[in-house]
Amino acid sequence: MQFMLLFSRQGKLRLQKWYVPLSDKERKKISRDLVQTILARKPKMCSFLEWRDLKIVYKRYASLYFCCAVEDQDNELITLEIIHRYVELLDKYFGSVCELDIIFNFEKAYFILDEFLLGGEAQETSKKNVLKAIEQADLLQEEAEGRV
């Protein structure tokens, strides 16, 4: 996977994770253009895009768009399921997740993503294991916060 973007229906970026080294300028240009392209597409249209030289897989959940750029030989459908699994993880963690959870706790969303995808590859596909890892770290956090 080359990158993952989360953005709202209004085109506001909510989360971005880049797995390929790109300059800030390129990142900004790609996300701006891509967000525009995807927002212009109708709901019944195909979830896959050949956009420039990238292969894009995107899906909309409520007001949020999840969008991944993958390599040419990658399987589009499984990428769609990666997005879905991520949403499931968020949902489980936040308990019925909504855009606001991700806006206000975006660092948590990043932590979850890092436990699930690492360096652009699916790291752990067992939902239980991902959440266990996050909870352990969170537990530590609560303890520390409790101490303070």
Partner 1 sequence: MSDVVEKTLTALPSLLSLDSQPGSAKLSSNSKLGNLIRGITELTSKHEEEKLIQHELSSIKEQVSSPNTTMRQMRELMVRAVYCEMLGYEASFSYIHAIKLAQQGNVLEKRVGYLAVSLFLNENHELLLLLVNTVLKDLQSTNLIEVCMALTVVCQIFPKDMIPAILPIVEEKLNHPKEIIRRKAVLALHKFYLIAPNQVQHIHNKFRKALCDKDPGVMTASLHIYLQLIQENAEAYKDLTASFVTILKQVVGGKLPMDFNYHSVPAPWLQIQLLRILSLLGKNDQRTSEVMYEVLDESLRRAEMNHNITYAILYECVKCVYTIHPKSELLEKAATCIGNFVLSPKINLKYLGLKALTYVVQQDPKLALQHQMTIIECLDHSDVIIKRETLELLFRITNAQNVTVIVEKMLDFLRLSKDDHTTVDLAGKVAELAEKYAPDNEWFIQTMNAVFSLGGDMMQPEIPNGFLKLLSEGFDSEEEDRKLRLFAVNSYISLLQGDPSKLPQRFLQVICWVLGEYSYLKDDLDPVVVLRLLAQLLDMKGSSSDTKSWVLVAMTKLCWSETAVSVAQQVAETYSSSFDTTLRQRAQELQHLSRDSQLHSRVLPPGGSLEPVEVDSSLSFLDGFVSEALSAGAAPYKPLHQRQEELSRSKALSLEPYGLSLPISTSSCSITDRQSPTLLSTSSGLSGDSTDFSHRGSSTTLKLDGVRRVWGREGYLAQKEPVEEVAQVEIPSPLRSPGQQGDADSCHSRTPTANPEGDREKQQLASSLFGGLSSQSSVCLMEKSERFGRKAKGQRASSTPNEQRSDPSVSSSSAVDNLLCNNLLEENSEPIDSSTKQTFQHPQSLRVPNGACDAEAIISDDDTKGRNRPVSPEEHVEGDDFPPCEDKSKDLSLTAHLPAELSGFSHSEIIPLCSNRSLDLSACHVQTDNTVVLVVFVTNSSEDANLQIQVLSEELEVCCPCESPVEEVRGHSVSVRQYSLTVKRPLVHFELVGRLSYSAAGTLQSMQFSYKLPLTSFIRPLTVSTEEYGSMWLAFSHDTKQNLTLMKEEQEPLSATLNALKKKLSLHVVEIIGVEGLVACSLLQDQPCLMHCRVHAGRLAVWLRSPVADLPDCLLYHCQRALQEH
Binding site for partner 1 (CB under 8 A): 12-19, 21-24, 28, 41-42, 44-53, 62-63, 73, 75-78, 80-81, 85, 94-101, 103-107, 110-111, 114-115, 118-119, 121-129, 133, 136-137, 140-141, 144, 148
CB-based contact 127:88 (threshold 8 Å): yes
Q: How far is the CB of 68 from partner 1 (least distance, A)?
A: 14
Q: Which one, 60 or 101, has the nearer CB to partner 1?
A: 101
Question: Nearest-5° angle of CA 51, CA 77, CA 103?
Answer: 70
Phi, psi of 143 (to 5 degrees): -60, -50
Q: How far is the CB of 94 from partner 1 (least distance, A)?
A: 6
Q: Which residues contact 143 (CB under 8 A, 6 or more apart)?
A: none
Q: How far is the CB of 13 from partner 1 (least distance, A)?
A: 6
Q: Which one, 39 or 99, has the nearer CB to partner 1?
A: 99
Q: CA-to-CA distance for 113 and 142, rounded, in angstroms?
A: 20
